[in-house]
Chain A
Amino acid sequence: MSSFWEYANPRKFMRTTNWLLPLVAAASVVVTATGLIWGFFFTPDDFRQGSTVKIIFLHVPAALMAINAWIMMLVASLVWVVRRHHVSALAAKAAAPVGLVMTLIALFTGAVWGQPMWGTWWAWDPRLTSFLILFLFYLGYIALWAAIDDPDTGADLTAVLCLVGTVFALLSRYAAFFWSQGLHQGASLSLQPGTRVDWAYKAPLYVSMSGFVLIFVALVLAGTRTEIRARRMKALVARERMA
């Protein structure tokens, strides 16, 4: 059986993702479309929230991926710091724009959902505030990569930033438990017994969440392939200049 670390070899990664990426991309389109169409067209209005409950099929998957993208970036950054595998640093870099967009979707859908339900677009609630800070960390992370020419130095510094930002990624998930205050409720989906969300909503929500995970994976694979090519191009140009 081949080792997981073989994929740290850019050639092996490019070969494998060459056939894997179209499959994941196609699956992401089919699964996301299924989840969103099911959620939008075929779920009933909630007795209290009315049709705004349909926003859950965008808001929860986007928020889930906003946090998990950062955790994935943390793991990839730690792999870079410990084992110095370039592909893992480039995968972390490739994940940031998707995470940024997921955070933006979660913030926007949260605001348009919050206005009719809470009577306000925004509140300095622990969960909302930590999510806004996570959004700013994504911007900072992308800006830091763009500001540094040397890719190894960029990977080192962004790994440190990623480690610090993880505090807010975790806070945005668990803030509602740490501080029993604020407008945002606790987790909608939980492994704890007791039903919070009816299966009429839960089933399409799980499909939509799977779709968002697949979108994330497809874009990270595509982005990592691009970053590997960009790195090779930089190396070739540098060699030309030296000659």
Chain B
Amino acid sequence: MIPDLGRYASEVLSAYVVSLALLAGVVAWYWLRARAVRSQLDQVEQRQERTE
């Protein structure tokens, strides 16, 4: 499945694994922060609706 990368296999594979992990990490960070902020905002808005 993986092409023959010869004697540079460790360099090429580590470049791909680390880069894809970093991309996945930043996407996960944006997604988790979006979810947290949205739920906090919902709570504040609901609290304000109740008091008004």
Residues of A within 8 A of B (CB): 36, 40-41, 45, 50-52, 54-55, 58-59, 62, 97-98, 101, 104-105, 108-109, 112-113, 115-116, 215, 219, 222-223, 225-226, 229-230, 232-233, 236-237, 240
CA distance A108 to B3 in the complex (A): 22
Q: Is the CB of A58 within 8 A of B38?
A: no
What separation, in Å, do the CA atoms of A223 and B4 have in the docked complex? 39
Q: With A230-B41, A233-B37, A236-B45 given, name 13 new contacts (CB 8 A).
A: A41-B3, A50-B7, A51-B5, A54-B16, A55-B12, A62-B19, A97-B30, A112-B11, A113-B15, A222-B34, A225-B34, A226-B37, A233-B44
Contact B40 A233 (CB under 8 A): yes
B8 near A226 with CB under 8 A, answer: no
Provide the residues of chain A in CB contact with B7, threshold 8 Å. 50
Contact with A along B1-45 (1 / 0, CB 8 A): 001111111011011101100110111011101100110110011
Chain B nearest Cβ from A241, distance in angstroms:
12
Bound CA–CA A59/B38 (angstroms):
34
A74 to B38, CA, bound (A): 28
**Contact, CB under 8 Å: B15 / A112:** yes
Closest chain A residue to B47 by CB distance? A240
Which residues of chain A are within 8 angstroms of B23 by Cβ–Cβ distance? 101, 105, 215
The smallest beta-carbon distance between B41 and chain A, in angstroms, is: 5
Nearest A-chain residue to B35, judged by Cβ: A226
Asked if A58 and B26 make an inter-chain contact with CB atoms under 8 angstroms apart, the answer reads no
* 26 residue pairs from A and B, CB less than 8 Å apart: A40-B3, A40-B16, A41-B3, A50-B7, A51-B4, A51-B9, A51-B12, A52-B12, A55-B15, A59-B15, A97-B30, A101-B25, A108-B19, A109-B19, A112-B15, A115-B11, A219-B26, A219-B27, A222-B30, A226-B33, A226-B34, A226-B37, A229-B37, A229-B38, A232-B41, A240-B47
Q: Are A50 and B26 in contact (CB under 8 A)?
A: no
* C-alpha spacing A212/B7, complex, angstroms: 28
How distant is the Cα of A41 from the Cα of B31 in the complex, in angstroms? 30
User: Known contacts A51-B6, A108-B15; is A101 also within 8 Å of B26 by CB?
Assistant: yes
B11 adjacent to A52 (CB under 8 Å): yes
Complex-state Cα separation, A54 to B30, whole angstroms: 28
